Amino acid sequence: MTNANTLTIDDLLQRLDDLNAIGIALSKERDTTRLLETILLAAKGITNADGGTLYLMQEEQGERTLKFEIMRTDSLHIAMGGTTGVPITFYPIHLIGKDGKPNNFMVVVYAVLHDETVNIADAYTAEGFDFSGTKNFDKKTGYRSQSFLTVPMKNHENEIIGVLQLINAQDKQTNAIIPFSAADQHMVESLASQAAIALTNRQLINQLENLFESLIKLINTAIDDKSPYTGGHCERVPTLSLMLADAVNRTAVGPLKDFQMSETDRYELKIAALLHDCGKISTPVHVVDKATKLQTIFDRIDMIDARFEVLKRDAEIELLKARLESGPDSPATAELEQQFQERTHKIDEDREYLRRCNLGGEFMAPELQERVKQIGSGYTWQNSEGKLVPFLSEDEIYNLNIKAGTLTAEEREIINDHVVLTIKMLEELPWPKHLRNVSEYAGGHHERMDGKGYPRGLTREQMSVQARIMGIADVFEALTAADRPYKKGKTLTESLSILGKMTLGAHIDADLFDIFVREKIYLDYARQFLDPAQIDEVDESKIPGFTLGAA
């Protein structure tokens, strides 16, 4: 059998190589669950142990306990915790017993409380520890738990964060159960030290990432509080961006078949999507929330309503004066009453027309704009200074004649400036290497494939796939959003038809739109976020810019 005294130089060098390789693997692993699993499997591997358990220190209500994280016993085919998906149902092990005394009879607790490795050759002959639970387990399974090696895991601050416990070292030639050698102990202690540091680093990185994402959400919350109408936009665009990116990553045909995205790349896109509208934090509320064409701090349509009422009042006063002068039964009075009815009817019609114009829409024809101008100059009213002035001011006419939506060109420029500020804010941050593209991804969601977008006028060839993905996500979310002040959310058919026309117009990426439709990303998204009434039956053969069945 192999022991500490019979290890050859080659054996020791091999173990050192293995330990070095394990250290490199631990430093590269980003997922905490896989990291824990790697630690235990590595410890089992270098000692040729049949089983093992990894415990993590946790604190609940001021009491420290050891929680079972990963369990493996090869000969019994036990694999619990970690990536197996099989939960470990054992209760955490308390460091302090119910009597208030240290639980030194448990090997793993003793290792923690005394900060030392415990190497036991045979649990059935060892003294000073309670192995009753182990023996009961052996009776039920027919197993023979013999040699134990229990090593505390300490981080760079010398704090114990967990325990590695290995069971039943095996001779490599005969598979007989043997004690863990001194060399085994030294190797596992070295591994435990590396593992604890790697685990602590990963936990610190995770905490920093969580903190960073929380700060991003804080910014988005501030934006959402300014504008309840777009409150879900900052949440939905990242989700849709990642859904489409994952679909592109899966595709094995077409122009984007070579696109590959690692977990690190995926995280970078997520951060960019979360921050894509951070510049809106400076956009004035009255512009973001402009629900009608005449809205500023308040909706000025009410002022125009008041003017119409003044016109009707003045007409009524004129009629009453005429009655007094001519008498109520004269033909002249009857004619004036007819004129009064016609005049007030026209006033009501014009008022209703302006109210409809004020709501905004997708397109306002020139003849409709001309009527606004005619109403504006067709009446006069006496202002607060006693002067007769045109019924509508130039600014009111300008706003009421907005062709699409509720924003003037100047207000759209203010909205568009949020991208400029987004880029400026993001470019000033000291991004680490794995997030260096955040600014480019986030700042490109309003660019167009033909170079007519903003703010930089980039063409398709000048943009990353990720930025183009965000462009589609941003538009589709806006089309289907039901929380905008100036419109209701469109159906899937309506939204895909508009996206298709934008594809034909080189507004969005045709290859990405193909995947968006073919992989039914629109439907997956709709099931999560849209009202059921918006989820209609889509005939993909009628979507502009999409060829059904094309790869």
Q: Domain boundaries in the chain?
A: 9-205, 228-283+414-542, 301-406
Nearest alpha carbon to residue 241 among 276, 213, 280: 276
Rounded (5°) CA angle 77-83-89: 65
pLDDT category at 442 given cuts 50, 70, 90 is very high
Question: Do 457 and 419 contact (CB within 8 A), yes or no?
Answer: no
396: pLDDT strictly greater than 80: yes
Can you say whether residue 540 is alpha, beta or left, with left for phi > 0 and alpha for psi between -120 and 50 degrees?
A: alpha
Q: Please give the average per-residue pLDDT across 436-454, as a whole number.
A: 94
Interatomic CA distance for residues 49 and 65, integer angstroms = 25
Residue 200 has which token pair?
Answer: 């602590």
Nearest alpha carbon to residue 379 among 397, 365, 366, 367: 397
Could you tell me what percent of the chain has a pLDDT over 70? 92
Sequence-distant (≥ 6) Cβ neighbours of residue 26 within 8 angstroms: 35, 38, 39, 42, 194, 195, 198
Strand, helix or coil for residue 69: strand
pLDDT category at 59 given cuts 50, 70, 90 is confident
* pLDDT tens profile 154-182: 988 888 989 999 999 999 889 999 999 99
Question: Do 293 and 358 contact (CB within 8 A), yes or no?
Answer: yes
Strand, helix or coil for residue 25: helix
Rounded (5°) CA angle 297-303-305: 135
Query: In terms of pLDDT, which residue wins out, 314 or 544?
Result: 544
* pLDDT tens profile 337-374: 888 899 999 999 999 999 999 988 778 899 999 999 99
Q: Please give the average per-residue pLDDT across 495-520, as a whole number.
A: 95
* pLDDT tens profile 227-277: 665 557 888 999 999 999 999 999 999 999 999 999 999 999 999 999 998
Q: Which residue has the tokens 């949440």?
A: 235
2: pLDDT strictly greater than 50: no
Q: Which CATH number fits domain 9-205: 3.30.450.40, 3.40.640.10, 2.30.30.40, 3.30.930.10?
A: 3.30.450.40
Interatomic CA distance for residues 186 and 167, integer angstroms = 16
State phi, psi for 452 to the nearest 5 degrees: -100, 10
Query: In terms of pLDDT, which residue wins out, 18 or 208?
Result: 208
pLDDT of residue 191: 85
Q: Which residue has the tokens 């045109």?
A: 390
486: pLDDT strictly greater than 60: no
Look up the CATH number of domain 228-283+414-542.
Answer: 1.10.3210.10
Query: What's the chain's Rg over C-alpha atoms?
Result: 37
Question: Do 138 and 131 contact (CB within 8 A), yes or no?
Answer: no
Interatomic CA distance for residues 541 and 292, integer angstroms = 36
Sequence-distant (≥ 6) Cβ neighbours of residue 62 within 8 angstroms: none
